[in-house]
């Protein structure tokens, strides 16, 4: 109930029934890390692998979401908090539909990631921390965003003028400067495989 007016609607078709129909378990695979750490690349590879294995997925990518659902938000700390709050809620909706949700967002604050974990529910959230050194991220930056941030042309840039809070206990941590994308993909898939398999 919100303000004594809004009550949650109890659906007769539950998440568990949708999972049974889809023959899979709904989980959220949440990629986090600095800009250029490899989130979108690995997330896209994971989606392709799951699709080819017959799983039903949805990929939520930071840039795409900011062109639509969150196009009204900027990059201040408060806007970043709201960005991830909305994404976490949308993730919860897709989980209720029985889908495997893959997200690729910097999501710089631990509180936002923990909120997403709470919405997903126990055993349904996998935080994948792409712990890539800033200098490596910058070397991959074809758009020149890091240079613009360092010169002050871009404000509130994570890792330069805005903080990034490293995950404390992610389900998987990997340095993409040391491990090749195919090996990272395999590590992520192995980490989630038992949790998405319908038994």
Active centre residues (catalytic):
107
Nearest 5°: CA angle at 46, between 41 and 52? 130
Backbone angles phi, psi at 103, to 5 degrees: -120, 145
Query: DSSP 3-state assignment of 28?
Result: strand
CA 44 to each of CA 9, 38, 164, 182, 197: distance values in angstroms, whole numbers, following the listed order: 34, 10, 23, 12, 20
Reduced to 3 states (helix: H, G, I; strand: E, B; else coil), residue 193 is helix
Residue 77 carries which DSSP code?
A: H
CA distance 163 to 134: 12
Strands 28-32 and 125-130: parallel
Neighbours of 190 (CB within 10 A): 10
Return the structure tokens found at 77: 């700390």
**DSSP-based three-state secondary structure for 102:** strand
């Amino acid at each position: 109930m919100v303000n004594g007016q809004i009550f949650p609607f109890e659906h007769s078709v539950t998440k568990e029934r949708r999972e049974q129909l889809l023959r899979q378990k709904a989980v959220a695979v949440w990629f986090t890390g600095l800009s250029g750490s490899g989130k979108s690349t690995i997330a896209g590879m994971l989606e392709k692998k799951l699709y080819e294995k017959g799983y039903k997925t949805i990929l939520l990518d930071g840039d795409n979401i900011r062109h639509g659902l969150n196009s009204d938000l900027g990059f201040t700390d408060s806007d970043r908090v709201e960005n991830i709050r909305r994404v976490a809620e949308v993730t919860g909706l897709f989980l209720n539909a029985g889908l495997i949700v893959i997200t690729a967002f910097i999501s710089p604050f631990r509180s936002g990631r923990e909120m997403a974990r709470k919405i997903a529910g126990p055993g349904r959230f996998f935080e994948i921390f792409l712990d890539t050194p800033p200098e490596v991220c910058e070397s991959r930056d074809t758009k020149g965003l890091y240079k613009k941030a360092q010169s002050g042309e871009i404000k509130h840039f994570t890792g330069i003028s805005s903080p990034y809070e490293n995950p404390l206990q992610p389900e998987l941590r990997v340095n993409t400067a040391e491990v090749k994308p195919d090996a990272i993909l395999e590590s992520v898939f192995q980490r989630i495989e038992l949790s998405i398999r319908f038994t």
